[in-house]
Structure 1
């Protein structure tokens, strides 16, 4: 199947193909798709609700790195929430700056931006 055919069959209006993310530790590979829309000035909990309402999820930290590498121009040069909480303190969650790719963690009540993704799992 050609890339054009794949995109025609799998992308919905307003979506952008981000690329292939290789699975780790036996996890399947996925095609990552960036959904349309952005939430601004939202807490982590509100960002997760935004992504769900958009039909997707917040991206993982690995997925954010792929988005930065392949679709940086689709983001304002600000920070965006990931779906990952900090391992040692669940009152914090990870985010990423889209002007330099730096990942950090902030308090879940902090206000940031959010974009949603959906995943096509390769069998």
Structure 2
């Protein structure tokens, strides 16, 4: 089996219908830490509602590092707008990612933004 066949077999073994492989994140030691999988579907809700939705489909909102990986590798799977991250930023605020320009900022958690969910596979 060549490298391409190994990759295809690996992805077939971990992806469920409608999911997309985003890539692998490195840990603090610089070694591969976890595979990031983008789940199908999205919503537009406030931050708490988005976290609840993600949990209901078996995932979580991505953190800021994961969002950077998503915009680098799967930008076409997102609308050109803001998406919630899982990371709070003080009382009543949370981080989000623009899939238009690539920037990260904070929004009030009561605002309705889009959300996508991910799941992680530890390496």
TM value normalised by structure 1: 0.92
Counterparts of 2:84 and 2:31, CA distance in 1: 23
Give per-residue Cα distances to partners, 1:11-50, cap 9 Å, x unaligned. 001100000111126896100000000002x100000011
Give, in angstroms, the shift of residue 59 of structure 1. 0.1
Contact 2:20 2:38 in 1 (8 A): yes
How many residue pairs were aligned?
Answer: 119
Q: Give 2:122's aligned residue.
A: 121
Structure with the greater alpha carbon radius of gyration: 2
Give, in angstroms, the shift of residue 90 of structure 1. 2.8
Gaps of 5+ in 2: none
Q: Does 1:63 align with 2:69?
A: no
Counterparts of 2:82 and 2:108, CA distance in 1: 13
CA RMSD after TM alignment: 1.5
1:2-81 matches, within 5 Å, as 2-24=6-28, 29-40=33-44, 42-81=45-84
TM value normalised by structure 2: 0.92
Give per-residue Cα distances to partners, 1:70-106, cap 9 Å, x unaligned. 00000000000000001xx231000000011100001
